[in-house]
Amino acid sequence: MELKHLAALAAALASVGGGSAMASGVVRPVAASGRTELTEFLLNQPVSVAILTHEVPIKPSEPPRIRTDSCTYSRVPCAVVDGVDLSVRGRAVAVPRSVFADLADLNTARLEPAGHGRYRLVLAGGDAAESYRAAIVFDDRRVLTRAITATEAGMVEERTVYSDVSKAFR
């Protein structure tokens, strides 16, 4: 089913239930190579993500002493993230390259509400000691924050706050 048809179906279902549809929090697998699309009806808005990936051939061994890519070495071949496209109500959301440039070996993706007018893309990747969760919070214009959590430790390892220094997104 096409992306626009999914958004229309979500809107129709929400209107039957009084227009107060919340996130289903459906977890979707992410393709190791190609385009993975996900659309949810969150906070009465259609929210979409497209994740672009490609495979990188690596040897099934211990990671090299000096890493030249973002592979976690939990999957052979490695699956590198080339892009993340976000949209709210069909309008593109600005996504800095730093949101996805160091992500690899994604397993799943989920969209969920993150407060008034905010949405969260949750990406789970890696495996075992290399497993992580990336939580990307955005509104209808831009990405606001990104937090990387080490899954085994359950601790945030990295937190990035994206500021609107240029005031271009007001």
Whole-structure pTM value:
0.82
pLDDT of residue 83: 97
Contacts by 95-99 with C-beta closer than 8 Å and gap 24+? 95/138, 95/143, 96/143, 96/162, 98/146, 98/160, 99/136, 99/143, 99/146
Residue 55, pLDDT above cutoff 50? yes
Residue 168, pLDDT above cutoff 90? no
> What's the average model confidence in pLDDT over 67-85?
88
Q: What's the one-letter identity of residue 136? A: I
> What's the average model confidence in pLDDT over 124-153?
95
Residue 85, pLDDT above cutoff 80? yes
pLDDT of residue 70: 85
Give me the phi and psi of 16, to 5 degrees please: -65, -35
Cβ-proximal residues to 68 (8 Å cutoff; 6+ apart), any chain = none
pLDDT of residue 24: 55
